[in-house]
């Protein structure tokens, strides 16, 4: 289990079109101990933000306009830049149809959580993704 201390140094990027969900996520992350949280409203904004300054973790919705989460993930993974391609990426979505799930998994997402996401599941998924990165190294 990570401590609040460990989270403090980790920069999170939220990509989510619902203001309410952004607020909820931010609240939960703050409570866990995260300090540096950037919010964006869709894939285009998210992509611009992470080009500007790559975060250490991305929490992302799927269905957004103009650019959705899957497109953004593919951009990231195929960017050819190691520092971008390796950022842990977690989907938070209510999209539960098989084709979307498969597409997401095929693009190498680090987590796929269905809304509403319980705070425990969120933290467990974040921990797992961060640990994987730490192990990679």
Partner 1 sequence: MVETGASAGFGRQFLTRFLAAATVLSLVLAAVSLFIELENIDDRMVESALAESRLFAERHGKASADAEGLKASLAAFLNERRHVADGHFVKAEIYDPSAKVLAEVEDETSPWARRGASTGHGMPIEGDVWYVKHLIGGTLFLQVVVRQPGLGFFEGVYEVSAERFRAILWSTAEHVLVVVITVFVTALALLPVVRGMTRGLERALREAHDANEATRAKSAFLATMSHELRTPLNGVMATLELMRETPLDPEQKRLLGIAQASASGLLGVIGDVLDFSKIEAGRIDLEAIPFAPRRLVTDVAAALEATAVAKGITLKAEVEADVPPAVVGDPARLKQVLLNLVGNAIKFTEQGGVIIRLAAPSRDASGVRLDFAVRDSGIGMTEAERDRLFRPFVQADGSTTRRFGGTGLGLAISARLVERMGGRIAVESAPGAGTTFRFAIDAVVAASDAVAAVEDRTETIQSRAAPTRDQALAAGALILVAEDNPTNRQVLDLQLRRLGHVADFAGDGAAAVGRCADTDFALVLMDLHMPGMDGITAAKAIRAREATIGGKRVPIIALTATALAEDRSRCLDAGMDAVLAKPISMRDLSETLARFAKPVSGAARPLDLDLLRETVGALDPWVIEAVLGLTASLRPDLETLSAALKRDDATSAAEAAHSAKGAARSGGAAELGALFDRIERAAKAGDMAEAGSARHELDGALARFEAAARELKAGGHVPG
9-28: which residues touch partner 1 (CB under 8 A)? Answer: 17-21, 23-24, 27-28
> Which of the ranges 5-13, 48-56, 73-81, 125-133 carries the binding residues for partner 1, by CB under 8 A?
125-133
- Report the distance separating Cα 45 and Cα 22, nearest Å: 14
39-98: which residues touch partner 1 (CB under 8 A)? Answer: 61, 63, 93-95
Give 53 or 101: the residue with its C-beta nearer to partner 1. Answer: 101
In the block, tokens 């973790």 appear at 57
Give 5 or 135: the residue with its C-beta nearer to partner 1. Answer: 135
Asked if 118 is part of the footprint of partner 1 (rule: CB under 8 A), the reply reads: yes
- Report the distance separating Cα 90 and Cα 114, nearest Å: 11
Q: CA dist 112 to 51, 121, 130, Å?
A: 23, 10, 15
In the block, tokens 């969900």 appear at 21
Asked if 116 is part of the footprint of partner 1 (rule: CB under 8 A), the reply reads: yes
Long-range contacts, stretch 94-103, CB < 8 angstroms, 24+ apart = 95/62, 95/63, 100/62, 100/70, 103/70
Judged by the rule CB under 8 A, the positions of this chain that interact with partner 1 are 17-21, 23-24, 27-28, 30-31, 61, 63, 93-95, 101, 105-106, 108-121, 124-125, 128-129, 131-132, 134-136
């Amino acid at each position: 289990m990570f401590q609040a201390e460990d989270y403090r140094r980790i920069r999170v990027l939220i990509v989510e079109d619902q203001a309410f969900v952004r607020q909820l996520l931010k609240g939960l992350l703050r409570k866990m101990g995260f300090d540096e949280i950037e919010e964006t409203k869709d894939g285009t904004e998210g992509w611009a933000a992470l080009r500007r300054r790559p975060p250490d973790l991305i929490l992302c919705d799927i269905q957004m306009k103009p650019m959705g989460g899957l497109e953004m993930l593919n951009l990231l993974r195929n960017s050819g830049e190691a520092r971008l391609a390796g950022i842990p990426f977690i989907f938070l979505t209510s999209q539960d149809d098989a084709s979307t799930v498969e597409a997401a998994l095929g693009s190498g997402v680090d987590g796929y959580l269905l809304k509403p996401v319980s705070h425990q599941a969120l933290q467990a998924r974040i921990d797992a993704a961060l640990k994987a990165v730490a192990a990679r190294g």
